[in-house]
Structure 1
Amino acid sequence: MTATASEGDDRIIRESGIDARIALIVQPVLRGIGFRLVRVHLSGQNGLTLQIMAEREDGTMSVEDCEEVSRAVSPALDVDDPIEKAYHLEVSSPGIDRPLVRKSDFTTWTGHLVKMETSIVVADRKRFKGKIVEAGEDDVLIEREKAAYGEKPTVR
């Protein structure tokens, strides 16, 4: 996932393709009403479904917040019309299985179990499962849940 960083977007994980185009449309709208974008994902389930995952600055998101976001982003999406076909709009909170998309997310969730996939090979792997032990400025230390024989119990 990569896209040009928009002003005020501190996410280190970003969308590509049509998802990135949609993110650029909804990001300023969300910011204007006090929310931050977590993720945009257009999928082919139930026809087309556009999922916009958002949260307040404090990480909360109520059902009423989802309704507010939906009402705010719908007109912007209608004007720019980035999706050629009919679609269902789904606004949600990150929930318990939230994607970690900001550096601050890794710090906030230190001590919690994470499943992580890196874009580059780290310690001969790209997929890791374990507890976040520490989050630095440019790295994260994971204590592996089950290290294979000969592997270190932690990986940075």
Structure 2
Amino acid sequence: MSKIEQLTRDLVMPILEKNNFELVDVEYKKEGSHWYLRVYIDKEGGITLDDCQLVSEYLSDRLDEVDPIEHSYILEVSSPGIDRPLKTPRDFEKHIGAEVEVSLYAPVDKKKKFEGELLEFTGDKVCILYNGARKEFDMKNVSLVKPVIKF
């Protein structure tokens, strides 16, 4: 995590705690010729546009006071979406029993993607029910875990 991302986390927490919002993630990265500072938030029942605006205005004012970024950037505050990757222990906890897709950096049994019911997450390992059997993956080999959305 970069210093900018950590500072942003620290600056945004008071408004999130006051409104019972959850901080899902903070990203600071360059895409093309632009720098983006993205803050993903959530709450029970989902985030609204008004929630994003509230947090964006608050955070923008705090960032202006501290002025930690020397160049121009675009601040985005948004909901992570229903198919957001699982990143925090809380994300995994909320999805126990749900269908997930596990993507790997290196193949296991000649495959890099496995879909199954999320059984367990320990921080170091993620376990799913795959084809009727328990399959365990070391998080060092996992590039992404996301919910499977079926319509």
For residues 103 and 27 of structure 2, what CA distance do their matches in structure 1 show?
18
Alignment correspondent of 1:78:
64
For the Cα contact (< 8 Å) 2:100–2:118, is it kept in 1? Answer: no
2:143 is matched with: none
Structure number having the greater strand percentage? 2
Q: 5+ residue gaps in structure 2?
A: 138-151
1:115 equivalent in structure 2: 102
Kindly indicate whether structure 1 or structure 2 has the higher relative contact order, using CA contacts under 8 Å at least 6 residues apart.
Answer: 2
Report if aligned partners of 1:30, 1:73 keep a CA contact under 8 Å in 2: no
Which residue does the alignment assign to 1:101?
87
- Name the CA shift for 1:115/1:47 in 2 (closer, same or farther; >3 Å): same
- In the TM superposition, what are the counterparts of 1:138-149 in structure 2 within 5 Å? 139-144=125-130
Report the alpha carbon displacement of residue 128 of structure 1 after superposing the two structures with TM: 5.6
Q: Contact 1:128/1:144 (CA < 8 Å) preserved in 2?
A: no
In the alignment, which of 119, 124, 129 is matched to residue 134 of structure 1? 119
Other structure's SS at 1:143 match: strand
TM superposition shift of 1:71: 1.5
Q: Does 1:22 align with 2:8?
A: yes
Give the residue type in structure 1 aligned to 2:71: K
Query: Residues 59-93 of structure 1, C-alpha deviation per residue, up to 9 Å, x if partnerless?
Result: 61112211111112111111112211111111110
Matched length: 130
Tell me the TM-score normalized by structure 2.
Answer: 0.68
Aligned-residue offset at 1:154:
1.0
Q: How far did 1:50 drift?
A: 1.0
Unaligned runs of 5+ in 1: 1-14, 146-151
Sequence identity percentage: 31
- Summarize the Cα distance change of 1:59–1:155 in structure 2 as closer, same or farther, 3 Å threshold: farther
Q: Which amino acid aligns with 2:29?
A: S
